[in-house]
Structure 1
Amino acid sequence: MLDVKDVVAGYLAGSRVLDGFSMSIKKGEVVALLGRNGMGKTTFLKALMGHVAVTQGSMQFDGQEIVGKRPYEIARMGMGYVPQGRDIFGDFTVEENLRMGLLGHPGMSKDIPDWAFDLFPILRERRSQRGGSMSGGQQQQLAIVRALIGKPKLLLLDEPSEGIQPSIVQEIGRVLSRIAKEQGLTILLVEQNMELVLGMAQRCLFMENGHIVYETDQVQALRDDPTPIHKYLSV
């Protein structure tokens, strides 16, 4: 599904926020990318989506090289992205925001499918409400559905629990886990909330200084032995 090898990327000429970054994800996996602030997690997601230039290395998605492709081309290949801070259109209604999620996918019906509102029923109730007037949790639910409405193969989530009340975080985790299990959606999750990570992820990758330094598929064992969490996440 996703194969990344020796990637170097940054925001300024010569900078190496990602410095020899390599990782892979199999179809249907839910993988968490973890690390302290400033280690390059968000930069990696932006590089995947074509928002940050990759100067070295390879990123293959579904067998196709995506380095150098434009964001809309990557989205049409089947990559969905929910950025940190949600990035919804505050002056648009819920329905208008969801229609924006369909615009980048020529050939898809422009009608919002019923299942989009079934994921988080509060959005059906608020479909005529402006996005900017909703709570942070509802905005996050909207951003997630907007990304899912394009039927991505891989969903990138950047800190989806940030600033959201625990009950909504739990609901988001349940919905995404169900979609991953029932529909085979592949998910790459950048997150600081370890309860959400432990509830969703099948594999954890720990990042420092622009590359992966530790990984484990024994995710539940981290509850009993949180040594990697303390080592790579504690300030």
Structure 2
Amino acid sequence: MLKVENVIAGYLAGSRVLDGFSMEMKKGEVVALLGRNGMGKTTFLKALMGHVAISQGSMLFDGQELAGKKPYEIARMGMGYVPQGRDIFSDFTVEENLRMGLLGHPGKSKEIPDWAFDLFPILRERRTQRAGSFSGGQQQQLAIVRALIAKPQLLLLDEPSEGIQPSIVQDIGRVLSDIAKEQGLTILLVEQNMELVLGMAQRCLFMENGQVVYETDEVQALRDDPVPIHKYLAV
């Protein structure tokens, strides 16, 4: 599904926010990418989506190289992205925001499917309401459905629990886990909320200084042996 090798990238010429970053994901996996602030997690998601150019390395998605492609081309290849801060259109209604998720996908219906409203029923109840009047949690639900509506193969989530009440975080985790299991959706999750990580992820990758320095597929063992969490996440 995704194979990344020795990627170097940054925001200024010669800078290395990502410094030899490598990782792999299989179809249907839910993987959490963890690390302190400033270690390159968000930069990596932006590089995958074509928002940050890489200066070295390879990023293969279903065997196709992502480097050099435009964000809309990457989206058409089957990648969905929910950025940190959500980036919903505040002056648009729920329906109008969801229609934006269907743009740029030739061959797909332009009608919002019923299942999109079934994921988070509050969106159906308030489908004609301006999104800017929503709480942070409701906006996050809207942003997630907007990313899912084009049926991506890989969903990138950047801090989906940030600033959201625990009950909505639990709903988001449950819905995404169900979709991953039932539909084989692959999810790459950047997150600080360990309860959400432990509830969703099958594998955890820990970053330091632009590289993956530790990984484990014994995710639940982190509850009893939190040494990696303290080592790579504690300030």
Pairwise same-fold verdict (TM > 0.5): yes
**1:204 counterpart = 2:191:** no
Q: Report how far residue 3 of structure 1 moved.
A: 0.1
Aligned counterparts, 1:1-235, within 5 A:
1-235=1-235
Runs of 4+ more than 3 Å apart: none
Deviations 1:37-89 (A, max 9, x none): 00000000000000001000000000101100000000000000000000000
Q: Report how far residue 106 of structure 1 moved.
A: 1.2
1:192 aligned counterpart, secondary structure: coil
1:124 aligned partner, one-letter code: R
Deviations 1:151-179 (A, max 9, x none): 00000000000000000000000000000
CA distance in 1, matches of 2:60, 2:17: 20
CA distance in 2, matches of 1:85, 1:126: 21
CA distance in 1, matches of 2:46, 2:27: 20
TM-score normalised per structure 2: 1.00
Deviations 1:162-213 (A, max 9, x none): 0000000000000000000000000000000000000000000000000000
Paired-residue identity, %: 89
Provide the alpha-carbon RMSD of the alignment: 0.3
1:72 aligned counterpart, secondary structure: helix
Q: Report how far residue 104 of structure 1 moved.
A: 1.8
CA distance in 1, matches of 2:29, 2:190: 14
Q: Report how far residue 34 of structure 1 moved.
A: 0.0
How many residue pairs match? The answer is 235
Q: Report how far residue 15 of structure 1 moved.
A: 0.4
1:102 aligned counterpart, secondary structure: coil
Q: Which sections of structure 1, spanning at least 5 residues, go unmatched? A: none
CA distance in 1, matches of 2:15, 2:94: 39
1:153 aligned partner, one-letter code: Q
CA distance in 2, matches of 1:104, 1:180: 24
TM-score normalised per structure 1: 1.00
1:178 aligned counterpart, secondary structure: helix
